[in-house]
Amino acid sequence: SKREKKRGEEWQGLLFEYLVQERNGAGRKNVKNMKQ
């Protein structure tokens, strides 16, 4: 149904946002390690 598809897309969007934030957080840690 349309509603289920929309809910699935919202879930994928949340997962994508989470992965981007995780990657950005890991990137910041790597930058700190390089400066030391």
What would the pLDDT profile of 1-36 be if each residue is shown by its tens digit? Answer: 899 999 999 999 999 999 999 888 876 676 677 766
Q: What is the structure's pLDDT at 32? A: 72
Distances (CA, A) of 8 to 20, 28, 32: 18, 30, 37
Single-letter residue type at 1: S
- The single residue listed with the structure tokens 């390089």 is 34
